[in-house]
Amino acid sequence: MASARRFADQLSHQENETTEQRRTYGSHWGAEPDQQGHQTAIGATAATLGDQFGGGGNQDPALSQNHSVDPRETQRPVQYTEHGGVAGVGSGPQVRAASQDLEVMCGPLLNYRRMSEEHTNSPIWHGSVLVVTTPGQQEPELQLRCLGPTNTVSYNERRGESALDGYGRSSEASASTFCGILLYEDPRKAFWRIEIELPFQEHEASWVYHIPRLRYMTGSGEHRDRENTFVVPAKTQSMRIMFHSCNGFSAGTDVDAWSGPALWNDVIRMQKEKPMHVMIGGGDQIYNDGVRVDGPLKPWTEIGNPQKRRAYPFNEEMRAQCDEYYFQNYVKWYNAEPFASANGQIPQLNIWDDHDIIDGFGSYTDHFMRCPVFRGIGGVAHKYYSLFQHHIPPPKSTFTTDAPATMNVSPDGSTPVDAVQLKDTFVMTPKSDDPSYIIGLKPGPYVAERSRSIYCQLGARIAFVGIDARTERTRHQINYPETYDKIFHHVSSQIRASNGAIKHLILLLGVPIAYPRLQWLENILHSPIIGPIRFLNKRFGLAGGFFNHFDGSVDLLDDLDDHYTARQHKKERRDLVQRLQNLAREHSVRVSILGGDVHLAAL
């Protein structure tokens, strides 16, 4: 609220400027026609930093109030350190837990990553388990063992109700042990990834894993020593696949009235009867829209003038508040049963969509999408998407108007370092990306990171490619042409290397490739008839729910503009389908397309 009050004071100051003052000092929201000024809040902020903290030029007292930290502090040198032999940036919180227990805030979350040696007689399954703990913990260890053929293992055994000793360890000595790697740690939490690999068997096999010493910090703080079990297909078998999307509730929904994520009860029931090998998330695994309803963006959303919202700064105070909101929302949702149980038993494979960030992200007007607040929440959402859904370290820093360096992309295509964000924080710097990722060649326009699409094999005969269709998205483009080139080159080379073993390619998109074309509705919503309604809305609040709370456009337009069937995406859609047809013809593979977003299951 303090940020909102400062911003309101600034607006009052600038609205009361005289023409002579504007000509003398320049207006930060828009100069007089014959003056230079600055046309965006980002440009104004960047240009003013040198004046405010470098000792030159005319300092604007109102603008200086937008900073919650001195921008010079963000440019201080940072330490490059190691944690358990893993290189990273930042020194971490420098605390050590007194308890021998592993104090867990969320997890375990099981991910499937890829196969290796997939074209040999000895294929290897690769995955990871994520646990989120309080800071200063000893590195977790995971014990993994095979229970044998799935058809010989009872459900109770698969649920981990086998004999454990008093400290929660399996009495069998055949378990393999895997150690955790610290991905990220700050004074509030730590993220640990435990990489696991195992050989495919001649038969479908149940594998059980267990992390000793777990004590949950939610609820009563009880110990949970029950094992988690997942199922891996035989080496000659393709995977049984579960697909889901839109796993949440729109902002303002009474979640308790719908009994929370109740559909996951059906998933657990199906897992008892015939276990699934992989769980594909097609986007919107979590809904973060509440950040504007009851979160730190509420004061910003309540600013009535879209131009003033567009100019609002995303300073370190707001960034930290949004960071905490997104983290807590992930913890709350990923701890909610029965979704939490499914995450520990069925290996996940995810791409993201708009609600993983905020409703409609990427499909509003370009000048609004480039505003500081949207760039800021895009960076924060990407940080926790990387950690929770992919088990990879986040960028070293995210966008904030208090740190001039973060407002421009570094040569490696990521957000540069901000010393303030890295205070008492450690971020792992990976030596290389996992081979399952197809990394975009350049950063997205609104999220200053490169897209991260996925290719992997799902058992003996199925290949999977999930396109990251959100990082590069604008209102007029879904992915860069060079990104499609890189994806199709990689997929084609992998299918060719299989020597005919791959028979089926599954393509995952965040939105459907086939959906009713609502061009008539698009035409109406873009037509002059909307003008009088918009005027009445601005003047008297009429039809308040008809317009969105961001750029003031008709609320349905971001959904319509998101679809491949939208008029501005039709050519891109046609080119994608034609390339898939060429791929299918060249390699004699069947292609199936999965799409999320529209809350509809159809075949």
Secondary structure E strands in 97-213: 102-116, 124-133, 141-149, 176-185, 190-199, 205-210
Residue by residue, DSSP assigns 160-190 as T-S-B-TTS-BS-S--EEEEEEEEEE-SS-E
- Residue 532 has a pLDDT of 65
pLDDT of residue 286: 96
The pLDDT value given to residue 495? 98
Report the pLDDT value the prediction gives residue 40, as an integer from 0 to 100. 36
Q: Which of 226, 349, 205, 186 is nearest to 280 (CA)?
A: 349
pLDDT digits (tens, 9 = 90+) for 453-511: 999 999 999 999 999 999 999 989 999 999 999 999 999 999 999 999 999 999 999 88
Vertex 181: Cα angle to 213 and 93 (nearest 5):
85
How many angstroms separate the CA atoms of 31 and 27, rounded?
Answer: 5
Which DSSP state fits 385? I
CA distances from 219 to 229, 439, 597 (A): 24, 40, 33
Rounded distance, CA 112 to CA 125, Å? 8
Letter for the amino acid at 519? Q
- What local confidence, expressed as pLDDT, does residue 12 receive? 43
pLDDT of residue 66: 79
Measured CA to CA in angstroms, residue 251 lies from 94, 261, 287 at distances of 38, 15, 8
Number of Cβ atoms within 10 Å of the Cβ of 46? 16
- 364/317 Cα distance (integer angstroms): 25
Check residue 37 and give its pLDDT.
39
What gap in Å lies between CA 528 and CA 533, rounded to an integer? 10
pLDDT of residue 153: 64
* Residues of the chain predicted below pLDDT 50: 1-63, 160-173, 543, 546
CB 159 within 8 A of CB 119: no
Altogether, the residues listed in the chain come to a count of 603
Task: Tell which residue, 269, 438, 447, 226, has the closest CA to residue 357.
Answer: 447
pLDDT at residue number 170? 42
Structure token digits, residue 37? 């000024």
CB-side exposure of 501: number of CA atoms within 13 Å?
Answer: 18
What is the reported pLDDT for 154? Answer: 60
pLDDT at 84: 83
Rounded CA separation 7/29 (Å):
13
Q: The tokens of 297 are what?
A: 């963006």
Q: How many helices (H) and strands (E) does the chain have?
A: 18, 19
- Report the C-alpha gap between 458 and 119 in whole angstroms: 12
* Whole-number pLDDT of residue 169: 38
- Please spell the DSSP secondary structure of 412-424, one letter per residue: TSSPPP-TTTTTT
